[in-house]
Chains A and B, each alone.
Chain A
């Protein structure tokens, strides 16, 4: 896998999936053919829609589920027969999973006390762990007396207190409101850097994945569709699914008319011709999906430039720092455009859209499941 560079490359894998399949019912595979390395010290996010296999993957790493086929290695050793309690992995759960009958301090002490650590040392380490998440003052409280964000920090302290080799997080911020979530994202990221943790993080929130991760594995239908650093996934998606899932993209089906000079000439519906950069093996006459991001499109002053076409402004969404235009091109497809907030664009006004061929990717169109293509404008 040549796009798995950066921290993920090399033999320094802390955890390794080798050809792992998982089936719950013996027929359909929840995870298939998974081969994935988790490098020491990296923040790896498993990103995908629900049912894509990311949580199953995490549960196999934790030891809650066994692979149907294949092997998982931890620090070079196969762990297929190793129960969760012997894996020395810390885990943060979606709904915190704090023990409601214990105080905050007892919750954090739990991993140490089941390991038979001496009482005095437990007290010290619990204190230190609570200090790490800035909740020393709450040691005597019950988890139910804390806010969601505080509970999540306690869960974090409990997962870190025994200095595990690997920390798993299963959508840990899903239950928090937006502001708190963003704050916790930064907090977790800083903890990761400060303590040198190895984190495998599961989320379905792509912006969360981009913000926090060293590398992101995009799960789709039980398989890793692409693995790479966030900017790589954003700038060079390899499939229409990844292009649509990471960030926003205008996705349109067309036919390859010709290939020349590293560019593809693509015919869209309604005879619109677009120049695009191939993002895979294309052949003339083949179907293709082109992707162009809203921020790559600008409003042109005059016709005749590269990928320049007339459009009509159908709707304008003001977002403070920028605005989004929904424009209709001549084949009636709606194209989303991101323009500066100051741009004047009146409702139903004709404009010219333009985007560089370098920012327009053309994918081989195999597998359009779960890919949301741009739709035609419907007058309501």
Chain B
């Protein structure tokens, strides 16, 4: 495909160089992600290749020990809460930002997007200092709120993208047909921008499920999340269980992002 049927030697060299370059980039960017996968089924408690033998024992540990199970449960609760919140808020924001009558749209958008640009540590420290005053530190509510803040921009982006394909005349048509604005939103606008809403939700979920820094600042042992458990595990006792947990998390993220991608390309 890259080569024409009448390729000269120089063409062949060029294409080869391009492929080699791409290969190297992919190797350095993507390969590290898959390193834990073989280690997670290693029969021995060592982080070394070659593998000693095949075993599900680390998966067994992750899925059956109380510590890991609690962490997974906490992460799910927080991620689901944060996803619901950021999807709702992000969708509302995107719909509002889509209105040509809204003044200072660009400024508002920039503020909403800030969590994507500001270093996470800053967000985390800020959230900690602020929420501690309000008594929200070391609570699920606090972590959910903070994660929703970071997740909402994704929803704003994906829903805004969906809205660029949405014909405003449809909303007007619904209104003149007798639908109240909320009914018009629910029955006409929402079904048509749903792919954007769901793919934003997937991003928000993955973002919260993988999040470590904010959780570290805001969570106590009672709210320990899966990434925190892995991090603690790394520091305290280097157990291959974290490679199993990492593989599980990665699988979930990949599945969700594929779903998000499918949803976005559909329409």
CB <8 Å contact, A99 and B170 = yes
CB <8 Å contact, B176 and A91 = yes
Pick from B175, B178, B183, B184: contact of A88, CB under 8 Å: B178
Interface residues of B (CB under 8 A from A): 167, 169-170, 172-181, 183-184, 187-188, 191-192
CB <8 Å contact, A99 and B176 = no
Interface residues of A (CB under 8 A from B): 62-64, 83-91, 93-95, 97-101, 110-111, 114-115, 158, 162, 168
Instruction: Count CB-based A-B contacts (< 8 Å).
Output: 65
Q: B169 to chain A: which residues have CB within 8 Å? A: 93-95, 97
CB nearest to A106 among chain B residues = B187
Give A95 to B191 CA distance when docked, in angstroms. Answer: 20
CB <8 Å contact, B170 and A97 = yes
Known: A88-B178, A111-B177. A93 touches B192 (CB 8 A): no
Give A33 to B152 CA distance when docked, in angstroms. Answer: 47
CB nearest to B177 among chain A residues = A111
CB <8 Å contact, B176 and A89 = yes
Give A95 to B167 CA distance when docked, in angstroms. Answer: 10
CB <8 Å contact, B175 and A97 = no
Pick from B172, B178, B191, B192: contact of A97, CB under 8 Å: B172
Q: How far in angstroms is the closest Cβ of chain B from A177?
A: 21
Known: A93-B169, A97-B170. A84 touches B175 (CB 8 A): yes
Give A10 to B173 CA distance when docked, in angstroms. Answer: 32
Pick from A90, A94, A101: contact of B176, CB under 8 Å: A90
Pick from A62, A94, A100, A114: contact of B178, CB under 8 Å: A114
Known: A95-B169, A97-B167. A162 touches B178 (CB 8 A): yes
Give A115 to B179 CA distance when docked, in angstroms. Answer: 8
Q: How far in angstroms is the closest Cβ of chain A from B192?
A: 6
CB <8 Å contact, A111 and B178 = yes
Q: A162 to chain B: which residues have CB within 8 Å? A: 177-178
Q: List 5 A-B contacts (CB under 8 A).
A: A83-B175, A85-B180, A114-B174, A158-B173, A162-B178
Pick from B167, B176, B187, B188: contact of A85, CB under 8 Å: B176
Give A98 to B170 CA distance when docked, in angstroms. Answer: 7
CB nearest to B168 among chain A residues = A97
Q: How far in angstroms is the closest Cβ of chain A from B240?
A: 49
Give A64 to B174 CA distance when docked, in angstroms. Answer: 12
Q: A89 to chain B: which residues have CB within 8 Å? A: 176
Q: B176 to chain A: which residues have CB within 8 Å? A: 62-64, 84-85, 87, 89-91, 168
CB <8 Å contact, A99 and B179 = no
Give A301 to B155 CA distance when docked, in angstroms. Answer: 79
Q: How far in angstroms is the closest Cβ of chain B from A103?
A: 13
CB <8 Å contact, A97 and B183 = no
Q: B175 to chain A: which residues have CB within 8 Å? A: 63-64, 83-85
CB nearest to A93 among chain B residues = B169
Most central of A86, A110, A111 by chain B CB within 10 Å? A110
Give A336 to B208 CA distance when docked, in angstroms. Answer: 74
Q: How far in angstroms is the closest Cβ of chain B from A30?
A: 15
Known: A100-B192, A111-B177, A114-B177. A84 touches B167 (CB 8 A): no
Q: How far in angstroms is the closest Cβ of chain B from A149?
A: 18
CB nearest to B183 among chain A residues = A114
Q: A91 to chain B: which residues have CB within 8 Å? A: 172-173, 176
Known: A91-B173, A93-B173. A115 touches B178 (CB 8 A): yes
Q: How far in angstroms is the closest Cβ of chain A from B175?
A: 4
Q: B167 to chain A: which residues have CB within 8 Å? A: 95, 97
Give A98 to B172 CA distance when docked, in angstroms. Answer: 11
Give A87 to B192 CA distance when docked, in angstroms. Answer: 26
Give A84 to B183 CA distance when docked, in angstroms. Answer: 13
Give A94 to B172 CA distance when docked, in angstroms. Answer: 12
CB <8 Å contact, B174 and A110 = yes
Give A89 to B183 CA distance when docked, in angstroms. Answer: 18
